[in-house]
A and B are shown apart, each in its own frame.
Chain A
Amino acid sequence: MSADHDHDHDHDHAHLSEMEVRVRALQSLLVKRGYVDEGAVDELVTLYENEVGPQNGAKVVARAWTDPAYAKRLEENATAAIAELGFTGRQGEHMVAVFNTPSVHNMVVCTLCSCYPWPVLGLPPTWYKSPPYRAKAVADPRGVLTDFGVSLADDMNITVWDSTAEIRYLVVPLRPEGTAGWSEEDLAAIVTRDAMIGVGLPSPS
């Protein structure tokens, strides 16, 4: 989990094979005893590795940027507004959208585990699940932003949302200047995963 751990390659290789052995032993037991359909495991991986990801959330944000009535619905009932675009389900059953403003920047964390809005962002990146981010975000979000190479104006207020129950939060960043007249599709292409967590900003370049 520490940088040393990650970069100790000899240790890593031994470790990976140990984990590989443990996973296979468990899988074999669960399949043999009739608890797990092996095809379902493959299907879950395919779904969350290749299909459910931040491109979904980017469509939500781009729609909110271009359609004020949609933005209002997103603000009032995010679960329903996101479902309009076809994104529903596990780890996004109860959604709230938090809108950045010229004076408030939002950042989302789960200090206790790894709660994250899967239907709109996919599975979380490693850093989101790891203690450095989970420890730091609620106390020093500017320090977190520095780790990501992002700086905000000194007078920007930062609100940090700790996902401590089953409500999942999606940050709607401000639409950047220089994007007037852009199509929804072109706008979606600049909405990054990090911007929708609140550790990045969309940029038109």
Chain B
Amino acid sequence: MKGPADVGGAEGFGPVVPDPDQDPFHAEWEKTAFGLTIAMGATGLWSLDRSRFMRESLPHTTYYGSSYFEIWLRALERLVAEAQVGSDGEVPPKRVLKQENVRAAMAAGGPTEREDTAPPRFAVGDSVRVKPMRPKGHTRAPAYLHGRVGRVAMVHGTHVFPDTSAHRKGEAPTPLYNIAFDAAELWGKDTTVSQVRADLFEPYLDPA
């Protein structure tokens, strides 16, 4: 979806304001919001892609008026409500992350690469165009690249497809590519970037 999170190339947000310190948290509640989000992700009740969809589908006014950990908390509240936690219909956790398992779980992470299901359609050097699109659901094709022509710079293998994973339609492993876009193709002369590189899934792309 082209929601409030999809801001690449937008004007009007003002200058970047560097943080005065190196601390990732600036209030106690932010620490808890972070820890709860990760711990609930470990329950297996929803995918990381669904979490992202719940953040990006917040109303514009809410999204832009919230700090990042507020966005995380609001999305977590929606996910918990979706799982009906605390009601008769609550979905039980598939796993519970215990304190003693935190380090091992974080060090293992959650790789998204899967066995190839079909040979990739594109190879390094191929010219491709990002499809025009306006999906209602989650996608990882940012709007500023829709319709633009680039070339395949890397073939990343086959990965979980966020567009289905976010909507409980399975992992649908899909080839993923790194695509190089020349600045002029994106912005004409009005830019200081030379090249933009983005990771895009095969269904987003047509030969060009």
What residues make up the interface of A, taking CB atoms closer than 8 Å to B? 1-3, 5-6, 16, 19-20, 22-24, 26-27, 29-30, 33-37, 39-45, 47-49, 52-54, 88-94, 96, 104, 109, 111-114, 119, 122-127, 129-136, 138-144, 147-148, 157-167, 193-194, 199
Residue of A at shortest CB range from B103? A47
- Which residues on B sit within 8 Å (CB–CB) of A158? 192-195
Contacts of B194 in A (CB 8 A): 104, 157-159
Give the chain B neighbours of A136 by CB distance below 8 A.
13, 16
Q: With A34-B93, A45-B34 as given contacts, are A162 and B196 in contact (CB-CB < 8 Å)? A: yes
Tell me the bound Cα distance from A40 to B154 in angstroms: 38
The yes or no answer to B19 lying at the interface (CB within 8 A) is: yes
- Chain A residues with CB under 8 Å of B39's CB are 30, 35-37, 40-41, 44
Q: Evaluate contact between B73 and A22: CB separation under 8 angstroms.
A: yes
Contacting residues, chain B, for A26 (C-beta < 8 A)? 36, 73, 76-77, 80
| Contact yes or no, A37 B96, CB < 8 A | yes
B172 within 8 A of A: no
Contact A135 B7 (CB under 8 A): yes
Check if B106 is an interface residue, CB within 8 A of chain A: yes
Within 8 A of A (CB), among B116-130: none
* Pair A135/B70 contact, Cβ less than 8 Å: no
Which B residues touch A167, using CB under 8 A? 156, 176, 178, 199
Inter-chain contact A89/B107, CB cutoff 8 Å:
yes
Which residue of the partner chain, among A131, A143, A166, contacts B112 with CB atoms under 8 Å?
A: A166
Additional A-B contacts beyond A34-B92, A35-B39, A131-B7 (8; CB < 8 A): A26-B36, A88-B107, A88-B108, A111-B142, A127-B16, A159-B195, A162-B198, A164-B142
